Structure 1
Amino acid sequence: MRLSRRTILKAAGALPLAAGGFGFPAFAQTAAVPGAPEVPPILFAHGNGEQAALWMTTLWRMESNGVARERMSAINFTDPLARTDDAKPEPNKSSTEDQLRELTDAIKELKRRTGAARVALVGNSRGGYPIRSYIRNGGGGDVSHAVLCGVPNHGVFDWDANPGSEFNGRGAFLRGLNEGESEVTPGTSFLTLRSDNMDKYAQPDGRILGKPGTPTGISFEGPALKGATNLVLGAVDHRETAYHPRAFREIYKFIAGREPDRIAIVPEAEVKLSGLVTATPGGVATNRPVAGASVEMFRVSPDTGERIGGAIHTSQTAADGRWGPAKVDPSWYLEMVLTSAGSTTTHFYRSPFPRSSDIVHLRAARPLGTADAGAGAVVLMSRPRGYFGLPRDVVVFDGKEPTDVKPGVPTDSISTLRLSAAEAGRPVTAVFNEERIVAQAWPASEDRIAVAELTS
Structure 2
Amino acid sequence: MKLSRRTILQGAGSLPFAVASFRMDALAQSPSVAKSSEVPPILFVHGNGDYDALWMTALWRMESNGIAQDRMMAINFTDPTARKDDTVEQANCSSTEDQRRELAAAITELKRRTGAARVALVGNSRGGYTIRNVIKNGGAVDVSHAVLCGTPNHGVFAWDTLLGSEFNGRGPFLRGLNDGDSEVTAGTAFLTLRSDGMDKYAQSDGRFMGQPGVPTGVTPDGPALNGAINLVLGTLDHRETGFHPRAFREIYKFIAGREPARIAIVPERNVRLSGLVTGTPGGVPTNRPVAGAKVEVFHVDRESGERKGHAVHRSTTAADGRWGPAEVESTWPLEIVMTSPDAPTTHFYRSPFPRSSDVVHLRAARPFGPADKDAGAVVIMSRPRGYFGLPRDIVLFDGKEPADVKPGVPTDSTATLRFPASEVGRNVVAQFNEERIVARVWPASENRIAVAELTY
Normalised by the shorter chain, which TM-score bucket? over 0.9
Residue identity opposite 2:237 in structure 1 = D
Q: How does 1:225-374 map to 2 (within 5 A)?
A: 225-374=225-374
Deviations along 1:305-345, one digit per CA (max 9) or x if unpaired, are: 10000000001111000000010000000000000111110
Instruction: Give the 3 Å change call, closer, same or farther, for CA 157–274 of structure 1 in structure 2.
Output: same
User: Residues of 1 paired with 2:288 and 2:26: CA distance?
Assistant: 31
Equivalent residue number for residue 185 of structure 1: 185
Q: Cα distance, 1:425 vs. partner?
A: 1.0
Preserved contact between residue 30 and residue 68 of structure 1 (Cα < 8 Å): no
Preserved contact between residue 32 and residue 63 of structure 1 (Cα < 8 Å): no
Equivalent residue number for residue 17 of structure 1: none
User: Residues of 2 paired with 1:91 and 1:338: CA distance?
Assistant: 25
User: Residues of 2 paired with 1:284 and 1:344: CA distance?
Assistant: 16
Equivalent residue number for residue 12 of structure 2: none
Preserved contact between residue 158 and residue 218 of structure 1 (Cα < 8 Å): yes
Deviations along 1:91-131, one digit per CA (max 9) or x if unpaired, are: 00000000001001100000000000000000000001110
Deviations along 1:363-416, one digit per CA (max 9) or x if unpaired, are: 000001111011010000000000000000000000100010000000000000
Q: How does 1:107-146 map to 2 (within 5 A)?
A: 107-146=107-146
State the superposition RMSD in angstroms: 1.0
User: Residues of 1 paired with 2:345 and 2:427: CA distance?
Assistant: 18
User: Residues of 2 paired with 1:386 and 1:199: CA distance?
Assistant: 11
Unmatched 5+ residue regions in structure 1? 1-28
Residue identity opposite 1:319 in structure 2 = A
User: Residues of 2 paired with 1:417 and 1:279: CA distance?
Assistant: 23
Deviations along 1:280-324, one digit per CA (max 9) or x if unpaired, are: 101110000000100000000110110000000001111000000
Preserved contact between residue 31 and residue 66 of structure 1 (Cα < 8 Å): no
Preserved contact between residue 191 and residue 228 of structure 1 (Cα < 8 Å): yes
User: Residues of 2 paired with 1:255 and 1:341: CA distance?
Assistant: 42
1:104 is paired with a residue whose SS is: helix
Equivalent residue number for residue 380 of structure 1: 380
Instruction: Give the 3 Å change call, closer, same or farther, for CA 352–382 of structure 1 in structure 2.
Output: same
Residue identity opposite 1:76 in structure 2 = N
User: Residues of 1 paired with 2:341 and 2:363: CA distance?
Assistant: 13
Q: Does 1:48 align with 2:48?
A: yes
User: Residues of 2 paired with 1:97 and 1:428: CA distance?
Assistant: 44
1:452 is paired with a residue whose SS is: strand
Equivalent residue number for residue 166 of structure 1: 166
Q: Cα distance, 1:32 vs. partner?
A: 3.2
Deviations along 1:150-191, one digit per CA (max 9) or x if unpaired, are: 001000000011100000000000000000000001110000
User: Residues of 2 paired with 1:424 and 1:340: CA distance?
Assistant: 22
Unmatched 5+ residue regions in structure 2? 1-23
Equivalent residue number for residue 13 of structure 2: none
Deviations along 1:58-116, one digit per CA (max 9) or x if unpaired, are: 00000000000110000000100000000001000000000001001100000000000
Equivalent residue number for residue 401 of structure 2: 401
Equivalent residue number for residue 62 of structure 2: 62
User: Residues of 2 paired with 1:60 and 1:361: CA distance?
Assistant: 16
User: Residues of 2 paired with 1:301 and 1:97: CA distance?
Assistant: 47
Q: Does 1:32 align with 2:30?
A: no
User: Residues of 2 paired with 1:30 and 1:195: CA distance?
Assistant: 37
Equivalent residue number for residue 199 of structure 1: 199
User: Residues of 1 paired with 2:209 and 2:445: CA distance?
Assistant: 35
2:230 is paired with a residue whose SS is: strand
Equivalent residue number for residue 81 of structure 2: 81
User: Residues of 1 paired with 2:130 and 2:212: CA distance?
Assistant: 30
Equivalent residue number for residue 155 of structure 1: 155
Deviations along 1:231-255, one digit per CA (max 9) or x if unpaired, are: 0000000000000000000000000
Q: Does 1:389 align with 2:389?
A: yes
2:27 is paired with a residue whose SS is: coil
1:102 is paired with a residue whose SS is: helix
Deviations along 1:257-297, one digit per CA (max 9) or x if unpaired, are: 00000000000000000000001101110000000100000
1:32 is paired with a residue whose SS is: helix
Q: Cα distance, 1:30 vs. partner?
A: 8.7
2:135 is paired with a residue whose SS is: helix
Equivalent residue number for residue 221 of structure 1: 221
Deviations along 1:401-443, one digit per CA (max 9) or x if unpaired, are: 0010000000000000000010011000000000000000100
Instruction: Give the 3 Å change call, closer, same or farther, for CA 241–335 of structure 1 in structure 2.
Output: same
Preserved contact between residue 33 and residue 64 of structure 1 (Cα < 8 Å): no
Q: Cα distance, 1:140 vs. partner?
A: 0.4
Q: How does 1:418-437 map to 2 (within 5 A)?
A: 418-437=418-437
User: Residues of 1 paired with 2:212 and 2:358: CA distance?
Assistant: 42
2:298 is paired with a residue whose SS is: strand
Equivalent residue number for residue 19 of structure 2: none
Q: Cα distance, 1:33 vs. partner?
A: 4.1
Q: Cα distance, 1:200 vs. partner?
A: 0.3
User: Residues of 1 paired with 2:338 and 2:127: CA distance?
Assistant: 27
Residue identity opposite 1:360 in structure 2 = V
2:141 is paired with a residue whose SS is: helix
User: Residues of 1 paired with 2:410 and 2:369: CA distance?
Assistant: 25
